Chain A
Amino acid sequence: MSDTSKTVQPDPGSEHQNTVAPSDDPTAAPVTVVDPRLLIRDEGLKGYVTEFKRKVKGGELGSLPVVIGLIVIWTIFQLQNDRFLSADNLSNISYYMSATGMLAIGLVFVLLLGEIDLSVGSVSGLASTVFAVFVVTHGMNGWLALFLAVLTGIGIGALQGWFFARIGVPAFVVTLAGFLGWNGLMLWLLGTSGTINIPADQGPIKLLGQSSFFMDQAIIGAYLLAALGVLSMLVGSFGEQRRRKAAGVPFRPTSEILLRVGALAVASFAAAAVLNNASGVSNALVIFLAALVIVDFVLRRTTYGRKVFAVGGGIEAARRAGINVPMVRITVFAISGGFAAIGGMFFAGQTASATLNAGGGNTLMLAIAAAVIGGTSLFGGRGTVWSALLGMLVIQSIQTGLDLLNMNTSIQYMITGAVLLGAVVIDSVSRKSQKAAGRA
């Protein structure tokens, strides 16, 4: 949220006066008195290192555990099997992570409230079945069926949120009931056949299939996407810098903007090159990324997002600020249910079917682990939706790697459990040291 906390106070002598009032006004001075240990960062590399050390000490690990985790995981799997870092396998990772990633996006909302939604796996399975029943059994238009399936997820989420917010049942119990109940409903809908195959040559299932690519696999598509991302960040950052300068408040220095945009450019063009070396950017990934951008905007730039953070940071404070806490809670669970249903459509797209084990097994654990590994706290109030992307990169790398090594489900489950535990431990420890540093 507070990305501006890293801004540099302009030099008082420079042309960009940071004091708003005229300099002969003595009352203007106090606000610009800044504790150097807290905020000011010297421009240049040294400043980064100093601030980095301070943050790690204060328990603000950010995306550090993810990056380290990813390097470790990729190294281990590459040593075991040299196909792991091949373009085809990385392309697989990017495709398969989008489905569980959708569930993780919804979970980020719930985690920001300091709550949990254990039903997302079951809801995703149910949504894919609802879709299949409408399309295959009733011959409904695919897009209408998708709309109804997502609506089902939103309705389920809102219902669970209502039990939590209005009746006062703990969220983990309501959603645990949902975990079982919605799975039961899905099994009942699938009936004796157990599997409903969905035609893969039309509608949403075609769009979400593994052989469906952005701009029909055209090489330029991937680079267009990368350029679009880099360009919007560049324009956005300089636009913000200009507005901040004009208003006389601290702004991010140009060198830092260029450094950040440069980092994004390297990452996104490298990813584009790798995916082009395989078959292109899957539509599932494009939709996942678009969802991330939209949700990030909602969380950081709208009053609704601010309400979510406020409720997660202090229910009483939020209530006294006039925020309708039950409304925020119900809508957050509805959003979680909606994203679970969308994720279910992605699962259906992977197999072109609705099956008995859709959304079952370790789906739920993976989605939770992804959100937490990515840096969203289980304790509420801290996190960004990008944790869904970073966490899914880790989680899907492990999944795909284990598949590549033909590991048994038993081993996969144990490893998933261990990874989730590890993520939660990191979260708890970092919260502890943040408390010690007076930051939680």
Chain B
Amino acid sequence: MVHVSATPVLALRGVSKRFGAVQALTDVELEVHPGEVVALVGDNGAGKSTLVKTIAGVHPIDEGVIEWEGKPVSINRPHDAQGLGVATVYQDLALCDNLDVVGNLYLGRELLHRGVIDEVSMEKNARELLSTLSIRIPSVRIPIASLSGGQRQVVAIARALIGDPKVVILDEPTAALGVEQTAQVLDLVERLRERNLGVILISHNMADVKAVADTVHVLRLGKNNGSFPVKTTSHEEIIAAITGATDNAVTRRAGRRDAEAAK
């Protein structure tokens, strides 16, 4: 694992979340350190999206504690999360179709000049940001509605970076992307780690996870089902934890190691 500081920037301790009859999260633990990419994996309906939404303040947690840089915090609204320095890119894209790229990048935190929206500075910064991320779009002044799915994803990720966050959450950022754009997004994730940000990456794609993540964290039916360092864990072990092929992948792994040691 890369260098990791002692105090996690974000930690979840025993977090639970219920939607009516559905127990979406039960007693979930999660730690993210600065400069660490944590991949969050699990089957459909495992609760990955729900977990990131609790961190982002979309769904307040029912039980448990969220710690920010070692101190307990309460995140009840998106505003709280933004204030702490959590930026989220959702699986279902949260962009306004009628606003242009600049408007979407700065939505909710427009730059002001004498109390008036400063379109020129916003446009200038937007162009600079998109340049440094090597993002190709026809113009920063066309409505989001006229962009392709891949271009929208890239705008959504760029949007997350504008507020200078400490933790960036990406919910299946590559699911709708072609090969080249996927590579761009993964490059981008590595750049985030270089900037010492904590990254939570939800993905179904094991190749992506293996390529960029430091730690992989498995959710199954709303519960923790193991946390592995990516470098020393095989594909099959992660898949097993996701599908629940054994009830406890960690035990199985430990057991195999014991057996190897005994030889």
By a beta-carbon cutoff of 8 Å, the part of chain A in contact with chain B is 1-2, 4-5, 7, 19-21, 27-31, 33-35, 38-39, 240, 243-244, 247-250, 300-303, 306, 309-310, 312-314, 316-323, 380-382, 434, 437-440
A303 with B112, Cβ < 8 A, contacts A20-B131, A244-B120, A320-B78 known = yes
User: Shortest CB–CB separation between residue A361 and chain B, in angstroms?
Assistant: 34
- 12 intermolecular pairs with C-beta atoms under 8 Å apart: A1-B103, A4-B119, A5-B100, A30-B130, A30-B131, A30-B134, A34-B138, A302-B116, A302-B117, A321-B109, A322-B79, A439-B143
CA distance A34 to B101 in the complex (A): 14
A321 with B94, Cβ < 8 A, contacts A38-B138, A38-B142, A302-B116 known = yes
Contact among B112, B117, B123 with A247 in the assembled complex (CB-CB below 8 Å): B123
Enumerate chain A residues within 8 angstroms of B78, measured Cβ to Cβ.
Answer: 319-322
- Interface residue total, chain B, C-beta cutoff 8 A: 49
CA distance A440 to B143 in the complex (A): 9
Enumerate chain B residues within 8 angstroms of A33, measured Cβ to Cβ.
Answer: 136
**B69 interface residue, CB < 8 Å from A?**
no
Q: Which of A28, A309, A320 has the most CB of B within 10 A?
A: A320
B79-123 with Cβ < 8 A to chain A:
79, 82, 88, 90, 92-100, 103-104, 107-110, 112, 115-117, 119-121, 123
Enumerate chain B residues within 8 angstroms of A240, measured Cβ to Cβ.
Answer: 120
Enumerate chain A residues within 8 angstroms of B58, measured Cβ to Cβ.
Answer: 319-320
Closest A residue by C-beta to B96:
A313
Enumerate chain A residues within 8 angstroms of B109, measured Cβ to Cβ.
Answer: 321-322
Report whether B135 and A310 are in contact in the complex, using a CB–CB cutoff of 8 Å. Answer: no
By a beta-carbon cutoff of 8 Å, the part of chain B in contact with chain A is 56, 58, 77-79, 82, 88, 90, 92-100, 103-104, 107-110, 112, 115-117, 119-121, 123-124, 127-128, 130-132, 134-143, 145-146
- A38-B138, A321-B78, A382-B98 provided; 13 other pairs, C-beta below 8 A? A2-B142, A27-B134, A30-B131, A31-B135, A248-B124, A249-B120, A302-B116, A303-B117, A306-B117, A313-B96, A320-B58, A323-B107, A439-B143
Report whether A2 and B112 are in contact in the complex, using a CB–CB cutoff of 8 Å. Answer: no
Enumerate chain A residues within 8 angstroms of B132, measured Cβ to Cβ.
Answer: 27
Q: Which of A5, A31, A303, A310 has the most CB of B within 10 A?
A: A31
A27 with B127, Cβ < 8 A, contacts A33-B136, A439-B143 known = no
User: Shortest CB–CB separation between residue A212 and chain B, in angstroms?
Assistant: 33
Report whether B103 and A316 are in contact in the complex, using a CB–CB cutoff of 8 Å. Answer: no
User: Shortest CB–CB separation between residue A8 and chain B, in angstroms?
Assistant: 11
Report whether A313 and B97 are in contact in the complex, using a CB–CB cutoff of 8 Å. Answer: yes
Report whether B131 and A27 are in contact in the complex, using a CB–CB cutoff of 8 Å. Answer: yes
Enumerate chain B residues within 8 angstroms of A320, measured Cβ to Cβ.
Answer: 56, 58, 78, 88, 90, 94
Report whether B131 and A31 are in contact in the complex, using a CB–CB cutoff of 8 Å. Answer: yes
User: Shortest CB–CB separation between residue A178 and chain B, in angstroms?
Assistant: 28
A39 with B100, Cβ < 8 A, contacts A249-B120, A322-B79 known = no
3 nearest CB pairs, A to B: A321-B108, A313-B98, A381-B98
Report whether B123 and A5 are in contact in the complex, using a CB–CB cutoff of 8 Å. Answer: no
